[in-house]
Structure 1
Amino acid sequence: MTLLMVVLGGAVGAPLRYLADRAVTARHDSVFPWGTLAVNAAACLVLGFVSAFALPGWAAALVVTGLLGALSTYSAFGYETFRLLRTRARFLALANAAGSVAAGLGAFALGGAAAAVFGA
């Protein structure tokens, strides 16, 4: 049952990540990976929110591991930061690394604060 929940969540999260990344990237004429930054921050926001609630195991597998695991992507973040370094865009690589960590932590905290409003 748990594996099925992870698969179902991932089946939604992976295409959602791709579509959101493409939508954000299409709006920016830049080599900076805005799409990956946006989807990772969004996943952290939702994770911060749902972490405040006691989810049953199946729901955690579906939402946290499946959906949010597929939505966020550390590998793309690492690849895009390395690609910026290889093209000598050192400032953008540093901005991506620092900005991604700051945005993720901030979004997680914001999600947790929003959950508190809902009584979590």
Structure 2
Amino acid sequence: MGQAIVNMLLVALGGAVGGMGRFAISSFLAKHLGSAFPWGTLAVNLSGSIAAGWLLGTLGLPDAAADNSLWLVVVVGVLGGYTTVSSFSLQTLELWQRGNVAQAAVNIVATVLLGLVGVYVGWQLAGGSI
């Protein structure tokens, strides 16, 4: 089997695991906190940002000449399936269309700014060097 096919399978496997994790956490938070605000999507995007920063600090950036299997399955696959820009975008639009402009703005600012902070915190937890 060619390396490109193996890489795609690694990403697919990781994506399935990440997607199931996102569904579980989003469902749990919607059940316990309600669905007036997309707490589940915010939680997975922020925790995914922290994890991505930690993995960057731990594994470093992938090297095209090296075996990137762990990066592919965990970062591209699991975190790619776990975090979600599409849900964030749809839920923000829904808030806006329902007239909850302030909540839509809070969702945008919280996701983007706290996501960047999360990546930095995760990177620092891993030692903060690339």
TM class by shorter chain equals over 0.9
Mean Cα deviation higher: 52-61 or 18-27: 52-61
Give the Cα–Cα distance (whole angstroms) in 1 for the partners of residues 48 and 73 of structure 2. Answer: 14
Unaligned ranges ≥5, structure 2: 1-5
Report the TM-score, using the length of structure 2 for normalisation.
0.86
Report the RMSD for the aligned CA atoms in angstroms: 1.6
2:22 to 11, 17, 21: 17
Give the Cα–Cα distance (whole angstroms) in 2 for the partners of residues 65 and 29 of structure 1. Answer: 30
CA gap 1:30/1:2 in 2 versus in 1, 3 angstroms? closer
Which has the greater radius of gyration? 2
Unaligned ranges ≥5, structure 1: none
User: Which residue of 2 is the match for residue 94 of structure 1?
Assistant: 105
SS at match of 2:12: helix
2:45 equivalent to 1:45:
no
Report the TM-score, using the length of structure 1 for normalisation.
0.93
The letter of the residue matching 1:60 is W
User: Which residue of 2 is the match for residue 77 of structure 1?
Assistant: 88
Give the Cα–Cα distance (whole angstroms) in 1 for the partners of residues 47 and 19 of structure 2. Answer: 14
What is the total number of aligned residue pairs between the two structures?
A: 119
Structure 1 moving runs of 4+ over 3 Å: none
The letter of the residue matching 1:40 is N
Kindly state the Cα deviation for residue 4 of structure 1 after the two structures are TM-superposed: 1.1
Kindly state the Cα deviation for residue 29 of structure 1 after the two structures are TM-superposed: 3.1
Give the Cα–Cα distance (whole angstroms) in 1 for the partners of residues 35 and 29 of structure 2. Answer: 11
CA gap 1:30/1:19 in 2 versus in 1, 3 angstroms? closer
